[in-house]
Amino acid sequence: MQSWRAVGDAVTADSDDRRYRYGLLLYAFGDAASRAQAEHWLRRAAANGHIAAQYSLGVLLHERGTQAQIAEAAQWWRAAAQAGDPDAQHSLAALLDDRGTAASTTEATRWREAAAGLTSVQRHLGALSDRRARVGASDAPAGTQSAAASKQRGADREWMSDQPEISVALPGFVVDGQHTMQEATDIDLEQLRGR
């Protein structure tokens, strides 16, 4: 073990990426002394803005489980999440969900969407689908839809007319006002079999 540490001191002297990798190597040994050294090297790399080190340091701190260390883990995950790391975004979202407040849940949703790489158009389509389900626009037969549903469809059409053409189908989203992509595909297959 001593020889690894001597090598590590030489290797990590000039590179945050090397500090990060050496920290991970020490972390993998699993004993308390190695984990303390891992934290040291991960902290050095994380403090210099190494995104993967920020995320990994958050994991190490979160595993310890004290309130202070979980709070610090959240700070490191937030730094990595703001830099675009999807693992940190997801971990931060899970941590915020555990808090259970309205503000933390809202922030958790934002980080989860960022981790999934959702665009503003995809978020709007999801909200549109949710809104339609609430007002019954996709379930009611023609001529019996509520005034609220009719008004919402008009607003949705107006918004969509201003948007660029979307050429990708997202599973679970309503594609024809009544059916999800999977349902529409199943209907098409049934119609083909019936020919």
Superfamily of 2-116 according to CATH: Tetratricopeptide repeat domain (1.25.40.10)
Torsion angle, alpha carbons of 34, 35, 39, 41, to 10: 20
User: Per the structure block, which two tokens stand in for 189?
Assistant: 């297959």
In this predicted model, what pLDDT tens digit does every residue of 178-195 receive, in sequence order?
555 455 445 544 555 554
Residue 10 — pLDDT band, cuts 50, 70, 90?
low
State residue 2's pLDDT score: 57
Cα–Cα distance, 19 to 40 (Å, whole number): 9
Find the mean pLDDT for residues 151-169.
Answer: 45
In this predicted model, what pLDDT tens digit does every residue of 82-124 receive, in sequence order?
999 999 999 999 999 999 889 999 999 999 988 888 655 565 5
Is residue 169 over pLDDT 50?
no
> pTM of the entire structure?
0.58
CB 38 within 8 A of CB 23: yes
For 180, list phi and psi in degrees, rounded to 5. -75, 170
Which range is most confident: 23-27, 57-61, 143-147?
A: 57-61
User: Per the structure block, which two tokens stand in for 154?
Assistant: 């008009």
SS3 state of residue 15 = coil
Is residue 67 over pLDDT 70?
yes
Question: Which is nearest to 34 in space by CA: 43, 42, 25?
Answer: 25
For 167, list phi and psi in degrees, rounded to 5. -105, 10
Find the mean pLDDT for residues 14-36.
Answer: 91
Give the start-to-end residue ranges of the domains of the chain: 2-116, 120-194
- Amino acid at position 23, single letter: G
CB 136 within 8 A of CB 146: yes
